[in-house]
Structure formats: structure tokens, C-alpha cells
Amino acid sequence: MRIAVLGTGTVGETIASKLVTLGQEVRLGSRSPNNEKAAAWAKRLGQGASQGTFADAAGFGEIIFNCTLGTAVLEVLNAAGRDRLSGKILIDVTNPLEFRKGQPPTLFVSNDDSLGERIQRAFPDVRVVKALNTINCEVMVDPARVPGEHAVFLAGNDPAAKEEVSTILRSWFGWNQVIDLGDISAARATEGYLLLWLRMMQVLGTSDFNVRVVKGN
């Protein structure tokens, strides 16, 4: 499958690399056609790996992983281009982290709105699925780093899109507890969880952790 990964940060690169090793064709998108980091990544990964602008990547991909900074999301998707995104599944991995107001970070959208909803409102034709934003990127693509069953959450308005994303998470990445929380407004819940994730990361002293949802009998 041809896949676009928007964003050359740690999250984007980690997901893009995993997808290439799985035999997918991956185009890493950034602001510039000559991003040094993206070019080095494509050279290092070799076959299946290419890079270009956000628009290049979005035009190439059948599915889009959105791994940009939360603060840049709409600007990046506008640069990618409405027509190149239309009708496609966009897996939104972003979080609305506000680092400029001191530690611990707060969220610049929360409670009664979310980045997932903002994207869906701005791009009504895009099949937005919020996913993977509650886990460190190394665990995203290799859940076995954390023992046993543990959870990844989905939120989105398109059941078929969520089904496809669930298959990608289970079959490609190895996830074993995929929980569909409902429509895209449930992105409020998983983005809001970041505050708890950050505290846990501090006290556990590692980002190699996750939660397992356990039900009563």
C-alpha cells in the first residue's frame, strides 16, 4: 500500500520506518522538498522509502498518518491540499500539547473540543480516525515492548475507516486491545488522557508503558 506520513519528528519517522520494514511504500512529507532529515531517512531506509512536500506525500498516499505537531495541524493539512486528502483515511496521531506555558504542559484545546474534531470540521471529506496518540511512538509500532494485552483507542465518524485502521493496528503493528470509543468527539477523551500519560511517564521513569483495560466478570 502507498502511505503518506506527514511530519519528520520522532513520531513520523518511527511510524514511517516501521511501515517500510513491513514492505509498504512510504512517502515522508515535510514543509520543503529538500528536507535534509527526510532525505537522509529515505536514503537510509532505501527501497519503499521516499520523501517530498506535504502535498507530494498526500498525493502519493492512499492512507495518511498525521504526525505533525499539534500546533501545526491545520496549516500542514492545508499545505497538503484538500483535493489530495479528500476521501482518504487520515490517522491522526497528534496531541494538543502546549509547551510554552511551563511544565507540566497543558493542552491548547481540550474538554469540549479536540484536534481530531478540528481536523474533521475543516476537512469534512477526509475520513479522520484518531488513534495511537495515547502511546509513545516506539510502543505505537511495537506494542510487544510492553508485556501482555494493552490498549489503543480509536475515535472517528466512519465505521469502515475505523475497521481498516483497526486491521492495520492489529495485523501490521501487533496491537491486541483495540477499543473503538465512538465518533470523532471521543478524541477529547484520548487527547485529554495525555495529562495523565505525562504524569505517569514522570513517575514510572519510562515512556515504555501503557494501560490495559480490564473488565469485571
First to last CA, the chain: 40
Which one, 2 or 150, has the nearer CB to a copy of itself?
A: 150
The H-assigned helical ranges of 22-114 are 36-45, 54-60, 73-80, 82-85
CB of 105: closest distance to a copy of itself in angstroms?
10
Angle between helical axes of 10-21 and 36-45 (0-180°, round to 10): 20
Which one, 81 or 105, has the nearer CB to a copy of itself?
A: 105
CB of 159: closest distance to a copy of itself in angstroms?
13
CB of 138: closest distance to a copy of itself in angstroms?
9
What is the rounded distance in angstroms from the CA atom of residue 45 to the CA atom of residue 115? Answer: 31
Q: Which positions touch a copy of itself (CB under 8 A)? A: 101, 104, 106-107, 110-112, 139, 145-148, 150-151, 153, 179-182, 185-186, 188-190, 192-193, 195-196, 198-200, 202-204, 206, 208-217
Q: 68: helix, coil or strand?
A: coil
What is the 3 state secondary structure string of 11-41?
A: HHHHHHHHHHHCCCEEEEEECCCCCHHHHHH
Which one, 30 or 190, has the nearer CB to a copy of itself?
A: 190
CB of 152: closest distance to a copy of itself in angstroms?
13
Q: 58: helix, coil or strand?
A: helix
CB of 89: closest distance to a copy of itself in angstroms?
21
| Nearest in space to 63 (alpha carbons), one of 11, 27, 116 | 27
Which one, 69 or 200, has the nearer CB to a copy of itself?
A: 200
Which one, 47 or 103, has the nearer CB to a copy of itself?
A: 103
What is the rounded distance in angstroms from the CA atom of residue 38 to the CA atom of residue 33? Answer: 9
